[in-house]
Chain A
Amino acid sequence: MFRIFVAINLEFMTSAIPIDIFKLISEAIGWILFFPVWWYTRGLVIVLRSSGQTIKNQYINLGLGVWLTNLFVPMYGTTDWAGRIISFFVRLFVIVVRSVALLFWIILVLIFLAAYILLLPFSIFGFAYHLFL
């Protein structure tokens, strides 16, 4: 095994410590080779998670769950039948509007996700195309 000795200053003494330089280099090469694998494994997981979180946050922000569970509950305490009917339709309308807003967010996130998936091959291809073709 090839080793180099490096001098390390440990406050009060200088001592020679063997460092396996081959191992170090092979690790560094490993990092570079692992890059594309990471992109579609751990990296993808991170992006998926944050996408899910974004959608969840928007769902809470828009209060869609609260509106859905209260669909048949009259608004503003108007419990007569006219109030109930009006409430139902108003709630339905609000739910539709809010759903559209949520859908907008979902589409945005999906676009971002697709962009992530395509980004690496796209950039490598672009680089190779312009330089080697």
Chain B
Amino acid sequence: MSSENSVIINSKSYLWLEKFDRVSRTFSLFKQRADQVLTIGAMLLGLLALGMAVFDLFIRGQGHEMLTSDFWLEPNLTAGWFFFSLICAEFVAYRLSESSRRVRHLPKRLYKNAPPTFGLPIGRSENIAETFENAARKAVEGAFEFAERFHHAEVAPVHLFSGCLEAEKPRIVLARLGVRFDDLKPAIEKGLASLAVGENANLSTAGNEIISQSFIYAYEHGQDLVSVLDLFQKSFHAEPLLADWLMAKEITVDQFDHAVEWVRINENLRFRYDRYRRAALHKPVGNMNRAMTSVATPLLDRVADDLTADAVYGRLPLLVGRENEIREIFRAIEGGGQSVVLVGPPGVGKETIIAGIAERMVEEDVPDVLKDKRLVSLSLSALLSGANPAEAQERLMSVLSEVARSRNIILVVNDIEKITGITSGGEHTMDLASVLADALARGVTWLIATSTPIAFSEAVESSALGRILQKINIPETNISDTIDVLESKMGNIEGQNNVIFSFEALEKCVTFSDRYLHESYLPNKAIELAKEVALEARQKKGANTFVGGDDVSKVMSEKTGIPLNKVTEDEKEKLLHFEDRLHGRVIGQEEAVKAVSAALRRARVELRSGKRPIANFLFLGPTGVGKTELAKSVAEAYFGNEKAMLRFDMSEYQDLASIHRLIGNPDVKEGGLLTEAVRQEPFSIVLLDELEKAHPNILNLFLQVMDDGRLTDAAGRTIDFTSTILIATSNAGTAFIQEAVKQNRPIEEIKTQLLEQELKTIYRPEFLNRFDAVIVFKPLTLDDVRQIAYLMIKQVSERLEMKGIKFIAEDAVVEELAKKGFDPLFGARPLRRVIQENVEDAVANIMLASAVKPRDTIVLKAGGQVGVEKAV
């Protein structure tokens, strides 16, 4: 082992000094046995001697002699036995204590200490092996066994990894990841096969590095001992083959780390809980503090909950993370002597932070000013119920005077904004907020209040309280922290529903709720989703089931209507041949069809960026060439029906005031047509017809939608557009397109000129830039129109089919109709009229005139002749 690898902490060096080769291992095994033999031997001998003494004294009936001084002073064998058994007992105590001494606790980490370094050992090194918990030592031993079994020259990371797998905790990690032990074998064998062969395996440099790293990790995280999990994680990181193998199972290194963290968090929670229960023994739960300085607070007790008492009884949730916020609160209270208000959206855990403070107060792990105090949450509804403003004010005053006299109370008021604006009389009288503010200013107590950002800025900031309270922002937790929080809550959720979550499911609860649920906040929405999934899984699959990622996808799909589960075979076919399906309705326009199909495929396999709509398209072209038709057919082919399309005729939004119809009116705080529609159906097509007719400021609204995938409505809700396909159609530049097509100019060139010159006058360049594709629809050719004519005839025939009547049109008549309906300026629009006049009218007439019965066939012949073939 190279000696430069010693870890140095506080100028003390730590090295792995244990030998684990086969000889040492066997020797230490024998030593252990010898120790056991000696200890048990001494125990038996002692018991035997005691037995002899007891036998002598009592069976022979000389028990009373023990009480005489002669018995002890006169040399006799019976007393000798007694003393001998005493010596044996002392010896046994000595051996037991020595054999449990082998574990040495890690050096305590202090903030002022320098971080650990590597270097040459200084003086006598401490043995790292002694700081390893039993399972971790076993794992290292196992690693050596593996190396010897395969006759490897060195103990490599993969050996250590395999050694860890014997222990329970690493197995839990794998189970959470949904990996079976047997699945791992090929990767490990592959890793083992590439290693050099030799005898008497030694710890390799990489292996030594892993041991040092896990030691440092445990030290830096204030652990007592090096856990087998530390070794497991570090050895996994050191062996790239293992990461590759996990990638093949669609598990990233990050997910592996989070799963390890999950097991660690659960262990920590148990440890924390034990320590906490011990500390709670010393905290009084009545309204008397330990120093007996407080007074009774009968009124306060009626309108408030004692959070510290709740914490002592273990009724509050344990807080995970949020170290910075707690430190900030303490700094405000201790340093500035200021009361605080925690401002954050609902569901980010403001009350859990307060519960965390209550728990710390129980442990007395708080600044001096908070020691030996009660944290009391004032219930505003209890305070204000059944009272007019004047009475409410009086009650608050009496509560505050009780608080003042008692001097051991820290007040908590949730949703502090409710207290503002309650006045007892005319305009210039005092309101409740100023009563409270006045008391705080006199230094009666400290207040920890909560509020939401909107309520704070509207009601609190400008009130008397706003000037006294220090605002502390509680932001939404990020994904990684939310995973930690959910991991800490998962034990409860699993226990209540009798299910077991895989890590994939847990992670999806967090990422999906972050991505698709925009009306509530992390971590609460992730916890709520996990609860829902757990309940659903138990109801559908029964108790003791494993909740996988697909279960979460299913629940989320049901909630939002967005397909999130894995792409099925059926759907794969559908997506791969999506162009064909679209061409069933849209004739020609290859480019447009291709672009739309590709966008949908990208969206479904999650290749797109999650921050924008699935796709933003601008369809340009003359009227009647199939722009709207394409949007409709996408809705039908992919979203299930034509109606899954939110259609907005932008000609209705020509003045600026109509913006309120789209996003709602801020005065009445209602959602608008667009925002409400997307909120209820986030997975749909948003079709903006005739975009050029809209007011330019309304177009600016869509700038943001296209860029961020979000829009805030008048009620302040953020509406998610990331699951929509935004399609805008426009007739702008039609004349130019038609002219250019007549001249047979290539479509690329037409598009370039359109974007660079023709459209510049109508749309701003940054607006055009936001579209994923600007697609120019070509004017229809006669051939296209002929095909469309066939489609329309088919539609007529389908309608007749429902009445049981067959309908056949000869090719010649279709040709006639196509020619009649072809108009380079208006596309396929005239065709519809032609079909109406020449086909539908004729059919209607014949149906009225002659009795066409079901199973008859109507034949449309050249020249517009209509005949009926009676069924036989």
Contact surface of A with B, Cβ cutoff 8 Å: 6, 8, 10-12, 17-20, 23-24, 27-28, 31-32, 35, 38-39, 42-43, 46, 60-61, 63, 66-67, 69-70, 73-77, 119-120, 123-124, 126-127, 129-131, 133
- Per a CB cutoff under 8 Å, which of B83, B293, B405 touches A70? B293
Question: B294–A77 contact, CB under 8 A?
Answer: yes
* Chain A residue contacts of B75, Cβ below 8 A: 129-131, 133
Q: Mark B89-107, 1 if CB is under 8 A from A, else 0.
A: 0110111011001000000
Q: How far is the CB of A123 from chain B (nearest CB, A)?
A: 4
- Per a CB cutoff under 8 Å, which of A10, A60, A75 touches B145? A10
Question: B86–A123 contact, CB under 8 A?
Answer: yes
* Chain B residue contacts of A124, Cβ below 8 A: 83, 87
8 A-B Cβ contacts within 8 A?
A10-B149, A17-B23, A69-B291, A70-B292, A73-B293, A77-B405, A124-B83, A127-B87
The interface-forming segment of B28-36, B730-738, B815-823 is B28-36
Query: CA–CA, A46 to B97, complex, Å?
Result: 9
Query: CA–CA, A75 to B97, complex, Å?
Result: 48
- Per a CB cutoff under 8 Å, which of B38, B90, B97, B291 touches A120? B90
Query: CA–CA, A131 to B91, complex, Å?
Result: 19
* Chain A residue contacts of B79, Cβ below 8 A: 126, 130
Question: A67–B90 contact, CB under 8 A?
Answer: no
- At the interface, yes or no: B847 with Cβ under 8 Å from chain A? no
* Chain B residue contacts of A24, Cβ below 8 A: 27, 30-31, 34
- Per a CB cutoff under 8 Å, which of A20, A23, A35, A70 touches B291? A70
Interface residues of B in 273-298 (CB under 8 A from A): 282, 290-295
Query: CA–CA, A77 to B75, complex, Å?
Result: 69
- At the interface, yes or no: B26 with Cβ under 8 Å from chain A? yes
Interface residues of B in 110-131 (CB under 8 A from A): none
Question: B83–A77 contact, CB under 8 A?
Answer: no
Q: Looking across the interface, which residue of chain B has its beta carbon closest to that of A65?
A: B290
Query: CA–CA, A19 to B292, complex, Å?
Result: 68
Contact surface of B with A, Cβ cutoff 8 Å: 22-23, 26-27, 30-31, 34-35, 38, 75-77, 79-80, 82-84, 86-87, 90-91, 93-95, 97-98, 101, 145, 148-149, 282, 290-295, 372, 405-407
Question: A28–B26 contact, CB under 8 A?
Answer: no
From DSSP, what is the main secondary structure of chain B's interface residues?
helix
Question: A27–B94 contact, CB under 8 A?
Answer: no
* Chain A residue contacts of B34, Cβ below 8 A: 24, 27-28
Question: B293–A76 contact, CB under 8 A?
Answer: yes
* Chain A residue contacts of B38, Cβ below 8 A: 28, 31-32
Q: How far is the CB of B150 from chain A (nearest CB, A)?
A: 11
Q: Looking across the interface, which residue of chain B has its beta carbon closest to that of A130?
A: B80
Task: Say whether, besides A27-B31, A127-B80, A73 and B97 are in contact (CB < 8 Å).
Answer: no
Question: B290–A17 contact, CB under 8 A?
Answer: no
* Chain B residue contacts of A6, Cβ below 8 A: 26, 30
* Chain B residue contacts of A123, Cβ below 8 A: 83, 86-87, 90
Q: How far is the CB of A2 from chain B (nearest CB, A)?
A: 14
Q: How far is the CB of A70 from chain B (nearest CB, A)?
A: 4
* Chain A residue contacts of B407, Cβ below 8 A: 77
Q: Looking across the interface, which residue of chain A has its beta carbon closest to that of B281?
A: A61
* Chain B residue contacts of A18, Cβ below 8 A: 23
Query: CA–CA, A35 to B82, complex, Å?
Result: 19
Q: How far is the CB of A10 from chain B (nearest CB, A)?
A: 7
Q: How far is the CB of A5 from chain B (nearest CB, A)?
A: 10
Question: A77–B282 contact, CB under 8 A?
Answer: no
* Chain A residue contacts of B95, Cβ below 8 A: 31
Task: Say whether, besides A76-B294, A127-B80, A17 and B26 are in contact (CB < 8 Å).
Answer: yes
Task: Say whether, besides A39-B90, A123-B83, A123-B87, A77 and B26 are in contact (CB < 8 Å).
Answer: no
Question: B406–A127 contact, CB under 8 A?
Answer: no
Q: Looking across the interface, which residue of chain B has its beta carbon closest to that of A131?
A: B80
Q: How far is the CB of A36 from chain B (nearest CB, A)?
A: 9
* Chain A residue contacts of B77, Cβ below 8 A: 130-131
Query: CA–CA, A131 to B85, complex, Å?
Result: 13
Question: B83–A126 contact, CB under 8 A?
Answer: yes
Contacts A35-B94, A130-B75 known; list 20 others, CB within 8 Å: A8-B26, A17-B26, A19-B23, A20-B27, A28-B34, A31-B98, A35-B91, A39-B94, A60-B282, A70-B292, A75-B292, A75-B293, A77-B295, A119-B86, A120-B90, A126-B80, A126-B82, A127-B87, A130-B80, A131-B75
Question: B91–A66 contact, CB under 8 A?
Answer: no
Q: Looking across the interface, which residue of chain B has its beta carbon closest to that of A78?
A: B295
Query: CA–CA, A25 to B91, complex, Å?
Result: 18
Question: A77–B406 contact, CB under 8 A?
Answer: yes
Q: How far is the CB of B195 from chain A (nearest CB, A)?
A: 19
Question: B295–A76 contact, CB under 8 A?
Answer: yes
Query: CA–CA, A77 to B97, complex, Å?
Result: 51
Indicate the member of A20, A28, A120, A126 with the most B CB atoms within 10 Å: A126
* Chain B residue contacts of A23, Cβ below 8 A: 27
Q: Looking across the interface, which residue of chain A has its beta carbon closest to that of B39?
A: A31
Q: Looking across the interface, which residue of chain B has its beta carbon closest to that of A133?
A: B75
Question: A66–B290 contact, CB under 8 A?
Answer: yes
Question: A42–B149 contact, CB under 8 A?
Answer: no
Query: CA–CA, A70 to B292, complex, Å?
Result: 9
* Chain A residue contacts of B27, Cβ below 8 A: 19-20, 23-24
Query: CA–CA, A28 to B95, complex, Å?
Result: 11
* Chain A residue contacts of B86, Cβ below 8 A: 119, 123, 126-127
Query: CA–CA, A32 to B88, complex, Å?
Result: 11
Query: CA–CA, A76 to B77, complex, Å?
Result: 66
